[in-house]
Structure 1
Amino acid sequence: MDDNTNPVTVLNPEECWRLLATQEVGRIVTHVGEVFDIFPVNYVVDGESIVLRTAEGNKLVEMVISGEVLFEADAHTGSEAWSVVLRGTARRLETGAEIAAADALPLKPYVPTVKRNYVRIEANTLSGRHFEIGPEPDRDGVQNY
């Protein structure tokens, strides 16, 4: 990276969706009132939404009660990294047609437990950043702002 290059690039929505589709594991943040929780989840991108499976329990209850969630996924190599954050609305899939469509997705639980519930997260906002990884610049030198 030279001195004229910004090591952080803002990603457009299309690039965010493309990168999200390259991964299988992300994190979902739920909240009910003042209580926030974060859960690792495996997922798939379906169009411009995230679909995940879950068992009955806190994660499902918190997603359904509030509906408002954050979802984040990222990846890195030795020279670059990216992170995408989706703010959205979670909805449990309930109709036979919705469940059949979700069953056809390449989404299998990582943990060998029964997960009968599908949840779709529709994006309200989507933001992403790409980062070049490198040494810290000279703290006393001229900084690019």
Structure 2
Amino acid sequence: MEALETQDCWRLLRSVTVGRLAVWVDDHPDIFPVNYKVDHGTLVFRTAEGTKLQAATGDTPVAVEADGVDPDTGVAWSVVIKGQAAPVRNPDELLDTVGLLLFPWQSGKKEHFVRITPDTITGRRFKVVPPLTWWTPLDDATRSGLE
């Protein structure tokens, strides 16, 4: 496993457009898929009114995780940003954000833009190993039961 430098994390985040947004809702964590764009050291996504918007823009920090794998090399990566999310309200900033061409996957009214400003960004890269090389304590138990 290789820990990634910050600039590598941002480059990888730019290479995909979908991640998972982790938020705190009432008394439990929740995760939502979001399509996003990187914008000047932040992530921006669009959403409609609802649980995701309320939870993301509350007082509790959020996290976004994105990942990918190169099928030719078998090298995978994962990047996590943690920080505060806030609605984009400033008219000039809103116009700039609209220019990101951030199109939701689902139809419907998604007029809220949310910007996540990270406090931390971490990433790692690793080689995916073939499933036959995985080992768990259950492997021996299963084998013993069949012999």
What is the TM-score of this pair, normalised by structure 2?
0.84
The equivalent of 2:88 in structure 1 is: 93
Contact kept in structure 2, 1:32 and 1:65, CA below 8 Å: no
Larger radius of gyration: 2
1:38 to 28, 31, 34: 31
Structure having the higher helix fraction is 2
Identity %: 39
Other structure's SS at 1:75 match: strand
TM-score of the superposition, structure 1-length normalised? Answer: 0.85
Task: Give ranges in structure 2 of 5+ residues lacking alignment.
Answer: 137-147
Match of 2:121 in 1: 126
**Unmatched segments (≥5 aa) in structure 1:** 1-7, 140-145
Which of 67, 78, 83 is 1:83 aligned to? Answer: 78
Equivalent pair of 1:32/1:66 in contact (CA under 8 Å):
no
Task: Please say if 1:106 is aligned against 2:104.
Answer: no
Give RMSD over aligned pairs.
Answer: 1.7
Tell me, in whole angstroms, the C-alpha distance in 2 between the residues paired with 1:84 and 1:12: 10
Residue identity matched to 2:70: T
Determine the C-alpha separation between the residues in 2 that align with 1:29 and 1:130.
21
Between 126-135 and 44-53, the greater mean CA deviation after superposition: 126-135
